[in-house]
Structure 1
Amino acid sequence: MPHLLIRGVSPHQIRVISKALVAELAGLCQCPADHILLECLNTSAVFDGEIVPSYPFVEVNWFDRGQSVRDLAAECIDRHVRSLGFAEAEVAFRIYDADSYYANGVKLSSGRADEDVARALQEENHRLKEELQKTRKALQSSQASSTSHMSSRLYDALRE
């Protein structure tokens, strides 16, 4: 995800921009490049009883990533599509809800998966807290021994 449905641009033209477009979108969306799908739709536009050329229209289907990422993604897609010589292009976003998205018949936001992730995060948090406590104790012990060592040396120096 995201899944780009592209109309009005030939598959051959999309091939020209695909690597750069996917690389940039992967960076913006913070996802692997192989999660991005470009799909060229063969469509025919009709106006006033005639078949007319379609204009570039890209529909982006994805899980919401916030307004700023959406703005950057729209600019990125527009720039790459118009680099093919098109005077204009349109981009629209369709937002998927995790509760309404299924993969292999399983809801993406299934409670079980959420519980497993939460449990793993809690275990990792607990482990990190224990490591932090051990490090703090070792640091305090080290500081205490160096202070007492320094104090005894200072004491010996002053006695002489």
Structure 2
Amino acid sequence: MPHLIIRGIAPETIRTISKPLTEELANVCQCPLDYFVLECLHTTSLFDGEIVPSSPFVEVNWFDRGQAVRDLAAECIDRHIRSRGILEVEIAFRIYEETSYYANGTKLAATEEDETTKALRAENQRLKDELAKVRKTMQAQQTNSANQMSSRLYDALRE
């Protein structure tokens, strides 16, 4: 991730820019080169009953990295594609959420959630233990007070 789905541009054109584009995007996104997937789709566009050239379009599927990084990535993609003589290209970003993304049937964010849940459970248990100690101490103090009163009352009655 990121996954660039490219339509309306010949695969050979993308092949010529793929290395420098991916290197620059890896720098912009602060992630390894092997996180990137560039995929060229064959599309057939129709207009007025005729087959017409498809408009260059890049869809970037990724986890949100903020507006500043998105702007830099869009500029980078646009510059590299237009350097091949393509006059116009549209770029759209599709944001994935970690909790909605699965790899090999496992939720990507499951490890983070599990660690958070474990930490919360441990904190909850610590608080329960502290509360039990405080209750025990309070019960002991109440018992001692009751015993002291009983002893005094007993002594008073004996006299």
Normalising by the residue count of structure 2, what TM-score does the alignment of the two structures yield?
A: 0.71
Q: Does the alignment pair 1:108 with 2:108?
A: yes
Name the aligned partner's letter for residue 100 of structure 1. Answer: S
Aligned residues: 118
Measure the CA separation in 2 of the matches of 1:73 and 1:44. 27
1:114 deviates by 4.3
Gaps of 5+ in 2: 119-159
**What is aligned with 2:22?**
22
Name the aligned partner's letter for residue 63 of structure 2. Answer: F
Q: Does the alignment pair 1:56 with 2:41?
A: no
**What is aligned with 1:122?**
none
**What is aligned with 2:144?**
none
Name the aligned partner's letter for residue 68 of structure 2. Answer: S
Identical aligned residues as a percent: 65
CA 1:71/1:105 → structure 2, altered by over 3 Å: closer, same or farther? same
**What is aligned with 1:95?**
95
CA 1:105/1:75 → structure 2, altered by over 3 Å: closer, same or farther? same
1:55 deviates by 1.6
Give deviations 1:88-132, integer Å, cap 9, x for gaps: 10000000011110000000111x44445999xxxxxxxxxxxxx
Measure the CA separation in 2 of the matches of 1:118 and 1:72. 36
SS in 1 for 2:4: strand
Measure the CA separation in 1 of the matches of 2:79 and 2:90. 11
Normalising by the residue count of structure 1, what TM-score does the alignment of the two structures yield?
A: 0.70
**What is aligned with 2:13?**
13
Which runs of 4 or more aligned residues in structure 1 lie more than 3 Å from their structure 2 counterparts after TM superposition? 112-119
CA 1:114/1:26 → structure 2, altered by over 3 Å: closer, same or farther? same
Gaps of 5+ in 1: 120-160
Measure the CA separation in 2 of the matches of 1:67 and 1:5. 20
Structure number with larger C-alpha Rg: 2
**What is aligned with 2:36?**
36
SS in 2 for 1:73: helix
Name the aligned partner's letter for residue 79 of structure 1. Answer: R
Measure the CA separation in 1 of the matches of 2:86 and 2:116. 45
